[in-house]
Amino acid sequence: MAQLYFRYGAMNASKSIQLLTVAHNYEQSGKRVMVFTPAIDDRYGVGRVASRVGISREAIAIHDDTDMYSMVKNQEYPPHCVLVDEGQFLGAHHVTQLTHIADHLNIPVIVYGLLKDFKNQLFEGTRALLCEADKIEEIKTVCVYCNKKATHILKFKEGNPVYTGETIEIGGEETYSSVCRKHYYQPPAEL
């Protein structure tokens, strides 16, 4: 029986590169994959999964009205695996679609994403994935200020940490840093 996997980690934990590696491994074995990514993440172009190490590939953009279940079900040659990047940006209805892909189409689904936002709150997609995933796996990285495990995301505006504002603001290292709990609440004056 296929399962729904949620692999989460802080920023720079290698989530996207792991997704790209899994896709490559399936395809090298002659298997088909379908790769999805939320349209809201347009840093590298809508419908593109990209790693900070420079590797990327096209993906199917997920909009609020996207029905991933129907898209997968209606493939002439069904995929052997469905991969989703930036799972935190999914709606709960998208996660339900992913459960149907695993349960009714018997296709494994692997979703990569953040656990929490910069306010230290769960994203809607993350909350749904934590409730529905068969397997939940952490991808670890270290705090930018020390060698502890990064568990929080610190957001910066004009070089200063902020804890309020719009929950979703697409950005990279210029906006966000992965930090441990101590440095989330007490960031050093300079990096």
Q: Is residue 184 part of a domain?
A: no
Q: What is the pLDDT of residue 190?
A: 60
Q: What is the pLDDT of residue 54?
A: 81
Q: What is the pLDDT of residue 174?
A: 65
Is 173 annotated as catalytic?
no
Kindly name the residue from 27, 58, 86, 137 that is annotated as catalytic. 86
Q: What is the pLDDT of residue 106?
A: 98
Q: List, in order, residues 6 or more apart from 29 with CB less than 8 Å away.
A: none
Q: Is residue 133 part of a domain?
A: yes
The answer to whether residues 116 and 122 touch, using CB atoms and an 8 Å cutoff, is yes
Q: What is the pLDDT of residues 22-75, one digit of tens each?
A: 999 999 999 999 999 999 877 777 888 888 788 889 999 999 999 999 999 999
CA–CA dist 66, 84 (Å, integer): 13
Q: Is residue 9 part of a domain?
A: yes
SS3 per-residue string spanning 87-124: HHHCCHHHHHHHHHHHHHCCCCEEEEECCECCCCCECH
Q: What is the pLDDT of residue 52?
A: 79
Q: What is the CATH number of the domain that holds 69?
A: 3.40.50.300
Q: What is the pLDDT of residue 53?
A: 80
Domain count, the chain: 1
The answer to whether residues 10 and 47 touch, using CB atoms and an 8 Å cutoff, is no
The answer to whether residues 150 and 178 touch, using CB atoms and an 8 Å cutoff, is yes
Q: What is the pLDDT of residues 124-151, one digit of tens each?
A: 999 999 999 999 999 999 999 999 999 9
Q: Is residue 159 part of a domain?
A: no
Q: What is the pLDDT of residue 44?
A: 73
Q: Which percentage of the chain shows pLDDT scores above 90?
A: 74
Q: Is residue 178 part of a domain?
A: no
Q: Is residue 12 part of a domain?
A: yes
Q: Is residue 148 part of a domain?
A: no
Parent domain of 113 = 4-138
Name the pLDDT band for 160 (thresholds 50, 70, 90). Answer: confident
Q: Is residue 25 part of a domain?
A: yes
CA–CA dist 98, 172 (Å, integer): 27
Mean pLDDT in residue range 79-93: 97
